[in-house]
Amino acid sequence: MSVQTLRPPDIETPTDSVELSMLSQLSSRADEPSAPATPAAPLKPTKLRQVAICTASFLCIFTTCGGVFSFGVYQELYQSMSQQPNTPFTGASPAAIDIIGTLSAAFMTIGAPLATAWTKRFSPRVAVLIGAALSFAAALLASHSTALWHFILTQGFLMGLGTCFSYMPAATVAPMWFGRRRGLAMGIILSGTGVGGLVWAPVMHALNEHLGFRNALRISGGVTTALVAAGALVLDWDPVSKARIEVEKARLAARPRSRLRSLWDVPLVDMRIARTGKFGGQLLATFLQSAAYYTPVFFFSAYARTLGYSPKQGANFIAINNAFNAIGKIGLGMLADRFGRINMLLITTAISAVASFVFWMPSTLLGARDLAAGRGLFVTYSIMYGTFASAYVSLFPAALVEIFGPQNFASVNGILYMARGFGTLAGTPSAGATVHSSSHDVAPSAYFGMATMISALLLAASVGVVWVRWENKRSPMC
C-alpha cells in the first residue's frame, strides 16, 4: 500500500506522507529494541467520520465556551447585586466582579499544555470527560457560594479548567482531520462559541430572572455535563496523528519515570522553533489580541445599561454579538481557505481594531449627549466586533498548522493557547479597572478608557500579525 493512502482527504502538502515514512523508520530501527513493530497503516478517514468529528467538536465548544461568552449576563447581574445589601457582591466594583469571568476565560487556555498532554497520553475522550466533570463541580459549588471569592474560585478558576479540558482537545484534534478545507472546518467548529453565546445568553438571563441565579447555575451545569459527555464519545485522533502518538508513547515508555511524574509532562516547543521570528511574532500577537478580546464581550450588557437599555436588552446585545461571531467564523474561514489563513488573520485583527476606534470610542463620548447616536454606534460595533474579532480565534489553530507544520502543531498550539490565557488574565481586569464606579448605572463616558485600551491593544496585535506574515514569507519552513 502506498503512503498516499495514509493521508486524510483534501491534504495538499506532502508533510503527512513524509511523517508516516519517518514513523515507519523510527518504529523499526534495530538499535531501539523497546520500539514496537512497524505500525499498521492507518485507514483513510471517511467523510462521515470527518462530519462526526466536526459535530462533536462543535458540541463541546458550543456548550462550554458558549457559557464563557455569556458571562456578561452574570457580570451585569452581579454588578446590580453589588448595589443591594446582604448579597455576595455587596460593595464590589465592576473590576472585582470581572475577575470571575476573566479567570474562567483565562484558564480556558492557560491549562492548554496540560490538557493537550493528557489528550495525547490518554485520549481525547478521557480529557473531555475530565472537563465535563470539572464544569459540573464548578457550577454546583458556585450555586452554594456566599462570598465573592467563592465565585472567583468556582465560577472563575474551576469553571475555566473544566472548559479548558473540553475546549483544547477539540481545538487540537479537529484541525488535523482536514486539509484543503481546514479554515472552513475550524470556522464551523469554533463558531460554537458564538452559537453557544447566542443560545446561552438569553437562556441564562431567563433562568436567572425566573429561578434565581443559584438554580440557573445548577441547571446549566447539568446540561453542560450531559452535552460535553456526548461529544467526548466521538472525539479521537486522526489516523496520521494517532500513528505518530503511538510511536511517541512507545519511546516515552522506555524511560524510567514514575507514573505520577509522567502525568505532568507537557509538550515543549522545539527550541529551534521557539527562536524563530515567526514564533516570537505569533506569541506577541496572540497575547495582545487575547488581552483585548474578552473585555467587550463581558461588558456589553453592563455598557448597554448606560445607554438606557434594560437588562434583557443588554443580554440581547451579547446574543447579537455572538450571532455575528458564528457568521464571521464560518464566512471568513471559507475566505481563508481561498486567500490564505495568515492573510485573513491580519485582516480580521485590523478591522476589529478599526471598529473599536471608529464605533465604540465615539459611542462612549456621544452616548450622554446624543443617546440615539451613541446607541447606533454601539449596535454597529457589536456587529462589527462580533464578526471580525472572533474570526481570529477560529483562524488561529488553522494558521498554526500552516506556519509551523502538523508535526509541531500540538506543542506549539498548547504553548500559544497558554499565552492567550495569560493575555486575558492581564488585559481584561486592567480594562475593567478603568471603569471608576461600582455602579452599573453610570454614564457611557465611564467606559471611554476601556474602549481606548481595547482599541490600542488590537492595533498592536495587528502589527504582530504583520510581523508573523513577513517572517513566514521570508522563512516558510521551520
Is 458's pLDDT higher than 90?
yes
Highest-confidence range of 68-72, 158-162, 323-327, 439-443, by mean pLDDT? 158-162
| CATH number for the domain harbouring residue 300 | 1.20.1250.20
CB 85 within 8 A of CB 215: no
Cα separation, 303 vs 446, whole angstroms: 9
- Supply the pLDDT for residue 137: 93
How many domains are contained in the chain? 1
- Per-residue model confidence (pLDDT) at position 25: 43
Angle between helix axes 112-121 and 124-143 (nearest 10 degrees) is 130
pLDDT higher than 80, residue 283? yes
Instruction: Write down the pLDDT at residue 360.
Output: 92
- The answer to whether the CB of 310 falls within 8 A of the CB of 202 is no
Which pLDDT score, from 0 to 100, does residue 455 have? 94
pLDDT of residue 257: 60
- 221-275 residue pLDDT tens: 898 889 988 888 888 888 877 877 777 777 766 666 655 555 556 666 667 777 8
Asked whether the predicted pLDDT for residue 452 surpasses 90, the reply is yes
What is the span of the domain harbouring residue 208? Answer: 44-245+267-474
Does some domain include residue 461? yes
Tell me the per-residue pLDDT of 125-184, one tens digit each, with 9 for 90 and over.
899 999 999 999 999 999 999 999 999 999 999 999 999 898 888 888 887 787 677 777
Cell of 414: 498548547
Per-residue pLDDT, 434: 84
DSSP state of 358: I
State residue 304 phi and psi, 5-degree precision.
-60, -35
Q: Residue 34's CB: how many other CB atoms inside 10 A?
A: 9
Supply the DSSP symbol for 153: I
- Which long-range contacts link 126-130 to residues 24+ away (Cβ below 8 Å)? 127/165, 127/168, 127/169, 128/60, 128/165, 128/166, 128/169, 128/170, 128/228, 128/229, 128/231, 128/232, 128/235, 129/228, 129/229, 129/232, 130/165
401 in a structural domain: yes
Tell me if 22 is assigned to some domain: no
CA distance 459 to 448: 17
Chain centroid to Cα 328, Å, comes to 15
Whose CA is closest to 314, among 365, 378, 224? 378
The owner of cell 467520520 is 49
Residue 232 resides in a domain: yes
- Residue 65 C-alpha cell reads as 465556551
Whether residue 181 is contained in a domain is answered as yes
Q: Residue 13: is its pLDDT beyond 60?
A: no
3-state secondary structure (DSSP) of residue 205: helix
The pLDDT of residue 30: 36
User: 3-class SS at 32?
Assistant: coil
Residues 359-383 pLDDT 10s: 999 999 887 788 888 889 998 998 8
pLDDT at 38 over 80: no
> Minimum mean pLDDT among 13-17, 48-52, 414-418, 420-424: which range?
13-17
- The answer to whether residue 29 sits within a structural domain is no
Is 226 inside any structural domain?
yes
Residue 346 maps to a domain: yes
pLDDT at 476 (0 to 100): 60
